[in-house]
Amino acid sequence: MNKKTLCTLLIAGVLFACLSGIIFAEDYVYYGTVMPVNPARSLGGVALKPNGDIYYVTFANPDSALGYISNAIPGCLTSTYSADIITTESAFTDGGRGLNDVELDADGNIYISGTGATAASTVLKKFSAAPAHAQVWTSNDIRHNGIAIISADVLAIAEAWNRISWKKTSDGTAEGTAFVSGGTSYGRSLAFNSQNNDIYVGRNGDNKLSALKVFSGGSSSNLSGYALALDEQLPTLGVQTAFGVATQALDYDEINNQLIAADVQDQGSIDLLQGVRIYDITGTGATTVFTQAQYFDGTAIPGRTLQYLNVYGVSYAQIGGVDYIAIGASTGTEFVIDILSRGGASVGTWDLY
């Protein structure tokens, strides 16, 4: 069979599949890498803005910082991006503390959270959108790790144990019911399913390898309606030690209804896989099923042969009709923010031709 005939058959097959409603799953491929200001400082969360900018935080005791990378996409392909520090947080005087999470609202405002040994040394702050990046408010009345925006008015907080509490995005004060609780400790991060109002809690520690629980039944206007629906999901992604580690990064892709989850380094067992896992979601509440669609461990990145040493942050955004994921990770020698893409030209897709 000559090449012309083969191409004709392939095109005909694709057209038939499209007309028949058959959808081919497409994997993410490596797009590029942007570097934080100080690649020697451990990363916390990352947040990918719909215009291609990236915010990130570092988990680095008194040197923990909120960083900003403008023009990350497509700048990481041409090294024309600009990386700056917005603020450094000196509240973390105890070892093994720092900023865990960063979130963006629809207006580009930035929220950061970081865990301390007590509520007083825990950080929760809001900053205005670029270019001002001015601090709007600060709150430190509860210990917590991760945050998620569930509406223009409500910020959900993953407290250090098994609780979700709520804050007003306007001023950082308490909102609605005090908290909801249930399931296994320790809640590290949050992701909000905007299609069905479920809240996913990324957790590790408590001597279990499971990494997720699901709260359902509520909404931003009915916070007291939330209750634990599923516990101990994604059974190999977590950390099987007594207290786990500071982050268990999650994000939700509302366009494709997928959960993006970090598979973190587990110091407590022989589980040696570290990377990012992407799950298709079906159902809601107690009927939710997570089906893995892709696993990415960093070994496909040009110039690297080893998997990620650890993953600290993940963030999804669709930019110009293309799906992107930002991954805050350690390569073993430095901390990087890798970008994956799906549905558009990238470094990796050229390898297919």
Q: What is the DSSP letter of 129?
A: P
Residue recorded with tokens 């207006």:
107
At residue 345, the pLDDT reads 54
| Boundaries of every domain in the chain | 29-352
At residue 341, the pLDDT reads 97
At residue 141, the pLDDT reads 87
* Nearest-10 Cα torsion for 300, 304, 305, 306: -90
At residue 50, the pLDDT reads 95
Model confidence pLDDT, tens digit, residues 271-307: 889 999 999 999 999 999 999 999 999 999 999 999 9
Q: How confident is residue 17, by pLDDT bands cut at 50, 70 and 90? A: very low
Residue recorded with tokens 């516990």:
231
CA distance 35 to 18: 40
170 Cβ contact list (under 8 Å, min separation 6): 153
Q: How confident is residue 96, by pLDDT bands cut at 50, 70 and 90? A: confident
Average pLDDT over residues 248-261: 98
Q: Contact at 8 Å (CB) between 204 and 251?
A: no
With 50 as the cut, is the pLDDT of residue 67 above it?
Answer: yes
CA distance 155 to 164: 10
3-state secondary structure at position 114: strand
Looking at every residue in the chain, the average pLDDT score rounds to 89
164 Cβ contact list (under 8 Å, min separation 6): 156, 157, 158, 179, 180, 181, 187, 190, 199, 201, 215, 226
* Share in percent of the chain as helix, strand, coil (round to 5): 10, 45, 45
194 Cβ contact list (under 8 Å, min separation 6): 252, 254
Under CATH, to which class is 29-352 assigned?
mainly beta
- List the structure tokens of 235: 């059974």
Q: How confident is residue 310, by pLDDT bands cut at 50, 70 and 90? A: very high
CA distance 228 to 44: 26
At residue 116, the pLDDT reads 85
